[in-house]
Amino acid sequence: MKIVFAGTPDFAAQAMRAIDQAGHEIVLALTQPDRRAGRGMHLHASPVKVFAQEHNIPVLQPATLKQDHADLQKRTVAQEAYQYLSSIEFDAMVVVAYGLILPQDILGLASKNGRHGCFNIHASLLPRWRGAAPIQRAIESGDASTGISIMQMDAGLDTGDTVLVGDLKIAPQETSASLHDRLAALGAELMVKTLNALERGAVITRTPQSSDGITYAEKILKNEAEIDWQLSAVEIDRRIRAFNPFPGATSSLNGDLLKFWDSCLPNKGQTEQSLNPGQVLGFSEDGVYVQCGVGVIEILEMQKPGGKKTGASACLQTYRTQEKIMQFKKD
């Protein structure tokens, strides 16, 4: 089938690669404009754009698809994108972590003239965790499982009917990075199955989402990263793993802002010894024990400003010689 693909990050590029390898023809890639990043603030193409260029797939990068946008320049760009989409032949549209809202006129293009419509890979078991950050919020909330929903898109925010669903157990030490990779692979697999079924002419069952159990995964903000040591060890452990790789949990020690990349809940033998949340209680072979509002957490991997990720015990060696009592604090 001929596919218009809309997506931006690596999660989307993996699905794009699977669709291409399955023999479907991607006739257009829509992706967000190049962004400046890194110390030199150079422009970087999205993973979807990189894949498209490597495979000679046309690319459009409109800043918006809203033809009624108040900004004349953006409105013109949106109109040009709509005209291009109107001029090409395609059978379906696939949207994966695109980052732009698809207005009704674009959804309408994907459904007219016998086309199959617009399908989305969403990284949760809808209607739980609609929205921008379903992977992180599932870990932060302590969900036991999550999954992929292949959804027939409508004009709402992740409100469309599901056509294929697959679930995954969330491992006890799962980070957003590791869960992202497992969900990306599952999403690519399920999307290819959906497109193959459409190509065979199979009947696709559309299941309306339940009105019960709706939750929203709000976008992760950098100011959420700072650890509140008054929280329980369970809550802090979830947040450290949820915010790996972005934005990275942080806390200050002797004026340095350190990042926390991995943690766990220690064995029962390590109990509360202090009334000062944030105080370092002791060291394990690779980690450090820190008092929380309720319970103790073992920090396993940390990073100093300008340094590399390393075991928490090694990371704190220099601080051990400076202070008898080490106390993490919020800025």
Across 10-128, where does the E strand assignment appear?
25-30, 35-37, 42-44, 59-60, 92-96, 118-122
- Per residue in 260-298, pLDDT (tens digit) is 999 999 875 555 566 799 999 999 888 999 999 999 999
Alpha-carbon distance 20 to 164, whole Å? 20
Q: Where are the alpha helices (H) located in 141-246, listed in sequence order?
A: 176-200, 233-242
Ranges of residues in the chain whose predicted pLDDT is under 70: 38, 268-274, 321-324, 331
Give yes or no for a cis peptide into 33 (omega within 30° of 0). no
Three-class secondary structure of residue 236 per DSSP = helix
List binding-site positions: 124-127
Question: Measured between alpha carbons, how far is 236 from 265 in angstroms, rounded to an integer?
Answer: 10
Domains of the chain with CATH codes: 2-217 (3.40.50.170), 222-322 (3.10.25.10)
Residue 9 CA: distances (Å) to CA of 30, 114, 142, 196, 249: 12, 30, 25, 24, 22
Closest-CA residue to 26 (of 218, 249, 192): 192
Report the distance separating Cα 135 and Cα 102, nearest Å.
22
pLDDT at 324: 67
pLDDT of amino acid 181: 97
Beta bridge partners of 43: 36
Give CA–CA dist 301/182, Å, rounded: 22
Binding residues for (6S)-5,6,7,8-tetrahydrofolate: 124-127
Asked if residue 300 lies in contact with residue 310, where contact means CB atoms within 8 angstroms, the answer is no
**Residue for token digits 């980690």?**
287
DSSP strand pairing (256-264 vs 249-253):
antiparallel
pLDDT of residue 263: 96
- Measured distance CA(122)–CA(11) in Å, rounded: 10
